Structure 1
Amino acid sequence: MKIVCGVSFMMYGYDAGVLGGVLLHPPFLNAIGNPKDVWTIPMITASYDLAACVTAVGIAFFTFNIGRRGTIIMGNVAAVIGSIIQASSYSVSQLIVGRLCTGFAIGAISSAVPTYLSETGIEIGDRGPANAFNAILLISGVPLAYWIDYGFTKMDNQASWRVPIIFQCLFAIFSGGAMWFLPDTPRWYYARNRFEEGDAVLAKLNDSSVDSENVQNTRREILAAIEAELEANSSLQWKHFLTSGITDNSRMKIVRRLCICFWLPMIREWMGSSLIAYYSSVILSSVTEPHLVSLISGVLTTFFALGCVPLYFTIERMGRRSVLMYGALTMTILITIFTILVAIPPTTATRWAAVGIIFTFLFVFGYAWQGAVWLYCAEIAPLEYRHIGGAATAFGEWLMTFITVFAGPIGFANIGWYFWIWVIIGNVVAVIFVFLLCPETGGKTLEQVDYLFVGSGFAGLRKNFVTADEVGMWEEKEAVERKEAVAEKET
């Protein structure tokens, strides 16, 4: 399950980076008619992000019916179709259609894979390393795409850009084909009232019989969480979404949690990751020698991927909240120093210092925010609304990616280094957001996470959260109250 999900995310990273390496390649430009205006290339690039953004919203209305597994399979099928259309393109319009198809694919995959991984984890400590491994493969896809582009573009023929694009089909065929033989998550089966299938999958994941204590305890927790969330539906009001959940006074803060799923990845893209990944060549050209830009860009994306590796070993020990908050604080300092270095009159020393800061920034970003955000959003989304939480996460990610990718080159061209002030603000907002609104979810089951948001005030500031024993007492008290209410009604 981890490998199949990881390969899907590796395709996501590969697809995000593969076109950037051939956009200025003469055979590619010849194939699409050598466009001269300033809008065509940004639109080709950004159409992918726009499609993923729209898909994340659209699929929220039906993915609960087809399940996490079905959504991942659907995304991989769409990726194959989109890759074929792009690789056979001889016009801008055909290329954009292909980009839209792969954007749909990535929108579906990015909304379902983190949820699938989190819901199939058995031990409490499974979720962190699984999602960290996923992030490693995701970011590894970016330098893989870059180095394949780097090699193929040494040739001067049409295969030099078509082969790298069609190569991503291998990821999709493996992942979609293997997922066909895997089950959906037990939590999804229980939420769909398919109890026998849920029991069977839960038993396989625990490698024990259905009657075992582990299986039965997990089963009771899941069913209790479903019942509690269904009861909380009565207080769910859509007007709360308009205020990002700030006015959500319901007991389980369902709206607030779904809004966090949207804002956290949106803030992540505001912090500069996509801007640097998509336009590393443009950024580096302003701080280093032209003949070194291509090589340093490749090493930079590789460094980004390496930053995700330590997260696999430390996420459960450090905790999600600490990784996000202190990572954002460190990145705020680094990007501020970088902005100062590019703002002052350039010298050889300041240029290379700026390059070093960007390397460090992306390494910290890979560690602190690339994998932890997917994990955190999958954990805090309520079970009955986890498909919506996944869609909100992907929507926030791709909405800000589209804005950044489309506006980035325009901003650099018109205001120069001042554009980096926007990125600094994003990093400052990230620190404040996590500090006030994001409680620690590590060391708790997905069902216990529901109770982290119970209470008043800022969730991130509360020191004493509900313990597992208190959760059991709370559920027992609720059961007694329900029985008393039924008896009173009958009387």
Structure 2
Amino acid sequence: MGAGAVPVHGFAGYAHLLDPNRTWRNNKRIFILNAWITLLLITSSTNGFDGSMMNGLQSLPQWQNAFNHPGSAMLGLLNAIQNIGALVGLPFSPYLSDGIGRRAAVLFGAGTMVVATVLQSASQSVGMFIGARFLIGFGLTFAQNGAAMLVAELAYPSYRAPLTSLYNSLWYSGAIVAAWSTFGTFKISSSWSWRIPSALQGIPSVLQLCLLWFGPESPRWLVSKGRDAEALHVLAYYHADGNKQDHLIQYEYEEIKAAIDLDRAVATSVGWMSLIRTPGNRKRLTILIAIAWFSQWSGNGLVSYYLNEVFKTIGITDVTIQLLINGILQIWNLAWAIAAAALVERIGRRILFISSCIGMLLFFILQTVCSARYAITRSDSAAHAVIAFIFLFYTSYDIAFTPLIVSYTLEILPYPLRAKGFTVFNFVISLALIFNQYVNPVALHRIGWRYYIVYCCWLAFELFFCCMFIIETKGLSLEETATLFDDEEVVDQIHAHGRPTTDDKDAKESISDD
């Protein structure tokens, strides 16, 4: 069996090679592979834990007393410092993932976060707490960079899209644990009311540090290092019950080799400049920067880190009510995000992105209107409507910007650019978060609900961008997706490096149409 075909009329070239009877339900090795992938997916839980925990801690008198009732500027620093730590780690993370392996990068990040959560939960001063949170962000950068790529590069082909989409969706699993653990401990009169949630943030990292040593490495990384026999063994063991001659395995293996051999020659000569060297790569970079910024600047940052401040604008000051709504909201979000991840291959990425933008714009406008009405009339019904629209806004957000931002970014990046491009993606997210975390509390304090108007305008721009630039990648392998962005000359180079096509003429016409 030759190497991978380019997509023809939207169908993946490997689709006919998949055994319909081989599923995670009845195949032991695919089940085990998905278990390893689940261990990688919970990396996102650590990040989700943070936002929800900080929301909860800000509502706790015990935490407020311990850190001298931080004002809006200090709150901004306390929230932003994790992302500042992430920014410091970003320049190094792709070299670690590409140099010593995806798995090793996750282990390094997990080990760093275990140390950091111990320091955070034992903090005796605000400086110690800030330092620990910085270290959490630093370690999380390496863990996220390796884990997300390892999920995409290990998954069985028919499960790759749902699983990579599930990666960011599990952000809410950490948020749920944080929200409800904070709710459960807020009546403890001592500092353990905030130390216990702080310590729980390290659980995913502890699990990874103990178990991931025994998991598989990325076959794409192994091929890039000349360890072809190991790569073939990983593919065969998990995707074909150990049969190295299976047509699917030969297809995947040859496609990976051909794509890496070609792309390595280009990428090594230009390094980071390869991200902007060709029109296709510039288009990739534009899309990944945009969706990274959109993911944090769609109004969701208000609720993710400053829900208690939002509650104050509508007169909800009771700590029990604040924590209860926070906990319910995270469960709501997780349910919608998982449902959307399961439908990625059925509905398609483009439809989900556009639908998400339409829903967010509609419900954020309604939230703004009701917030304004409460400010004028002090109506309880207006306050309750704001809460309802927050839930509906997040439903819209969760159908695309939770499950797709990581999976779509990894899909559109070819192997040599994947680590560097994903680093740029995370860099933009960190910048957006830092900006949000400094600006949001100050803006909410000074102008209240009027600040929402800025996000309404921005959401309209997001809708325009997604309609114009998001390309559908449904049903394609990682290697095949590259042909949607590269011109015919690049596709011809791929063919010349040994990647056969089902029909070159039809394939080029399909690429041109896309």
Q: Which runs of 5+ in 1 are unaligned?
A: 457-465, 481-491
Cα distance in 2 between the residues matched to 1:64 and 1:426:
36
Structure 1 range deviating more: 112-121 or 291-300:
291-300
8 A Cα contact 1:54 1:395, kept in partner: no
Alpha carbons of structure 1 residues 199 and 35: separation in structure 2 relative to 1, 3 Å: same
Distance 1:189 1:282, change over 3 A: same
Q: 1:69 aligns with which of 91, 95, 103?
A: 103
User: How far apart are residue 45 of structure 1 and its match?
Assistant: 1.8
Displacement, 1:409? 0.7
The question of whether the paired residues in 1 share the 8 Å contact of 2:117 and 2:202 is answered with yes
Q: CA deviation at 1:57?
A: 3.2
Structure 1's 240 and 313: CA in aligned 2 closer, same or farther, altered over 3 A? Answer: closer
Per-residue CA deviations over 1:356-391 (Å, capped at 9, x if unaligned) read 111101122122210111110011111012111221
Matched residues in 2 for 1:318 and 1:26: separation? 46
Sequence identity percentage? 23
Distance 1:280 1:249, change over 3 A: same
Q: Which residue of 436, 448, 453 corresponds with 2:468?
A: 436
Matches within 5 A, 1:367-446: 367-446=399-478
Partner of 2:310: 283
Give 2:121's aligned residue.
87
Structure of higher RCO (CA pairs closer than 8 Å, 6+ residues apart): 2
3-state SS in 2 of match to 1:57: coil
Contact 1:304 1:366 in 2 (8 A): yes
Q: Does 1:155 align with 2:166?
A: no
For the 8 Å contact 1:259–1:392, the answer to whether it is kept is no
Distance between the aligned counterparts of 2:393 and 2:346, measured in 1? 22
State TM-score, norm by structure 1.
Answer: 0.86
Shift of 1:238: 6.1
Mapping for residues 49-448 of structure 1, pairs under 5 Å: 49-123=83-157, 125-206=158-239, 207-233=241-267, 245=276, 249-250=278-279, 253-291=280-318, 292-344=321-373, 345-346=376-377, 347-448=379-480
The C-alpha deviation readout for 1:403-423, integer Å capped at 9, x for no partner, is 111110101112222211222
The Cα of 1:213 is off from its aligned counterpart by: 1.7
- Which aligned pairs between 1:7-26 and structure 2 lie closer than 5 A? 7-26=42-61
Deviations, residues 37-81 of structure 1 (Å, cap 9, x unaligned): 543232122101221233223323433102211111111111111
Mapped partners of 2:207, 2:37: distance in 1: 13
* Moved segments of 4+, more than 4 Å: 35-38, 234-241, 477-480
Structure 1 residues 235, 453: closer, same or farther in 2, change over 3 A?
Answer: farther
Counterpart amino acid of 1:447? E
TM-score by length of 2: 0.83
Letter in structure 2 aligned against 1:308: A
- What CA deviation, in whole Å up to 9, does each residue of 1:448-488 have, x standing for no partner? 011000239xxxxxxxxx9xxx96x87435669xxxxxxxx
Amino acid at match of 1:414: R
Give aligned pairs, total.
458
Find the residue that maps to 2:141 and give its secondary structure: helix
Relative distance call for 1:76 and 1:212 in structure 2 (3 A) is: same
Whole-angstrom distance in 2 between the partners of 1:121 and 1:278 = 33
1:258–1:389 CA contact under 8 A, matched in 2: yes
* 2-structure distance, mates of 1:236, 1:427: 36
- Tell me how far apart the structure 2 counterparts of residues 240 and 384 of structure 1 sit (CA, whole Å): 9
RMSD: 2.5
Structure 1: how far apart are the matches of 2:37 and 2:300? 24
Task: Please tell me the residue identity of whatever aligns with 2:306.
Answer: Y
Gaps of 5+ in 2: 1-35, 500-514
Over 3 Å counting, the alpha-carbon distance change for 1:434 and 1:300 in structure 2 is same
